[in-house]
Amino acid sequence: MSDARSPADTEEHHHDQTEGPGYSTPQAAIEESDPEELAYVMSLYVGTDVDAPDFLSVIDVDPDSETYSEVINRVEMPNRGDELHHFGWNACSSSCHVGGLERRHLIIPGQRSSRIHVVDTKDRREPKLETVIEPEDVFEHDLSAPHTVHCIPDGEILISMLGDADGELPGGFLELNDNFEIEGRWDPPGEIEMNYDFWYQPRHNVMISTEWAAPKTYYPGFDLEDVENGKYGRRLHVWDWTEGEVEQTLDLGEEGLIPLEVRFLHSPEATHGYVGAALSSNIFHFFEEGGDWHAEKVIDIEAREHDDWEMPVPGLVTDLLVSMDDRYLFFSNWLHGDVRMYDISDPANPRMADRIWAGGHFGDSHPTGADDREVICGPQMLQLSLDGERLYWTTSLFSSWDNQFYPAEAEKGSVMLKADVDPRNGTMELDEDFLVDFGDSPHGPARAHEIRWPDGDCTSDVWQ
């Protein structure tokens, strides 16, 4: 049995003088939060025939509302071609001792433009664009292609950057201060070549980052020759969180090609987490033991034959998350078309509890009813309610990759779906009354990507 501890076992970090945003512990987030009523969703037109700026969608997810599962507002960006992708909050539970901070501003990067938008959500239903950091200001630090946004304990903001100013390697990290001004480069240049996602555990002074590729490699679309030529990543980097320096690199080998999303367990005591190797369609469990970090493959998704493919279709694990109680791991198989739920009570030995098929190359293209909207792509970006009872997902991965693997999406747009989760019995059931159709967007069919709730979610918060 592992040494993972429950969120309740975190008495070492005292919160008697907590003044900052968020919740004192993961268990407090579960018990004290209200059910989510709104969702913010990245929405974009890049790679479609629609000549309009990308936008932030505000979705009504309150089942008692008359506008349930509808887009009730949009915040349009000032420029075209940003490719809004991932985004994050200016503050979270990691800033528990920084008084005066609010979880109020969304930091929204453009993956292709390197433009960084700041949106004020004081009025949750009618958020406003507050300021924009222009690409030229980012390039001054020899960085581009912003990806993951995490609030950090001192109230500042850290963003992983996937390329240099020319879209080549190496990438790095950009730091913003709490006034949303560029503070500078967080890491000494040259610590890593490739970059993608990251997650930190301040109590253990550790951060782990993953690898995609140079922006100029993945922007045009996926090419298997780039994999054969070593242009895609397969390593995890273990950082000294305080010093901003890499202490250890774990090579996942051929079974760990393109390690994308990385998640620690939520307990600040935990030294366990998971990363999904997208192309190899594997899940790796990483953990600390004897002062070193290790990674072991714990889930293998077998490729499947398909009449329209010349080679077996990999699952392509593109997103994963851990429930706030650290009991379940969820992940998506974008090409196959299923989303899976695993019991991780023993982190080294995940056990599949349930899965749902919806779209993709093997799932039902009309999962919410024969007369309902066709689902083109498979499950992709996931988000789970803080109480672990509602799982949502969208279907767009990246515009050029969408057009390569699911070209019809550019004509019909993405959807957002939802499953009701029973954590007690480890089951999921698709909510057939919930479907957000981004094909009905005002300027034309749009893509939908990452999802966040105003009060935090299972991929935003880190605890000290």
**Nearest-CA neighbor of 181 among 226, 217, 133?**
133
Chain mean position to CA 253: 23
Q: In sequence order, which residues have a C-beta less than 8 Å from that of residue 288 and are 6 or more positions away? A: 204, 206, 271, 294
C-alpha to C-alpha distance for 390 and 413, rounded to whole angstroms: 23
129 exposure class (CB count in 10 Å sphere: 0-12, 13-18, 19+): middle
DSSP secondary structure of 206-260: EEEE---B-HHHHTT---HHHHHTT-B--EEEEEETTTTEEEEEEE-GGGG-SEE
Residue 185 phi, psi (nearest 5): -85, 130
The answer to whether the beta carbons of residues 35 and 101 sit under 8 Å apart is no
Residue 213's CB is within 10 A of a number of other CB atoms, namely 24
Token pair belonging to 191: 């610590």
Per-residue pLDDT tens, the chain, 464 aa: give them: 334 444 444 446 666 666 778 899 999 999 999 999 999 999 999 999 999 999 999 999 999 999 999 999 999 999 999 999 999 999 999 988 888 899 999 999 999 999 999 999 999 999 999 999 999 999 999 999 999 999 999 999 999 999 999 999 999 999 999 999 999 999 999 999 999 999 999 999 999 999 999 999 999 999 999 999 999 999 999 999 999 999 999 999 999 999 999 999 999 999 999 999 999 999 999 999 999 999 999 999 999 999 999 999 999 999 999 999 999 999 999 999 999 999 999 999 999 999 999 999 999 999 999 889 999 999 999 999 999 999 999 999 999 999 999 999 999 999 999 999 999 999 999 999 999 999 999 999 999 999 999 999 999 999 98
Question: Which helix or strand (DSSP H or E) is residue 150 part of?
Answer: strand 144-151
Tokens found for residue 433: 């009354």
| Whether the Cβ atoms of residue 348 and residue 358 lie closer than 8 Å to each other | no
209/291 Cα distance (integer angstroms): 18
Question: What are the phi and psi torsion angles at 223 (to 5°)?
Answer: -130, 120
Q: For position 10, what pLDDT does the model report?
A: 46
- What pTM was computed for the model? 0.96
Sequence-ordered list of residues with C-beta below 8 angstroms from that of 157, at least 6 positions apart, any chain: 88, 90, 107, 149, 150, 151, 175, 176, 177, 178, 180
Assess contact for 236 and 259: CB atoms under 8 A: yes
**3-class SS at 297?**
strand
CB 279 within 8 A of CB 314: yes
Check: CB of residue 312 under 8 Å from CB of residue 255: no
Query: In whole angstroms, what is the distance from residue 265 CA to residue 255 CA?
Result: 23
CB 121 within 8 A of CB 127: yes
> Largest Cα–Cα distance in the chain?
62
Determine the Cα–Cα distance for residues 195 and 271; give it in Å rounded to an integer.
22
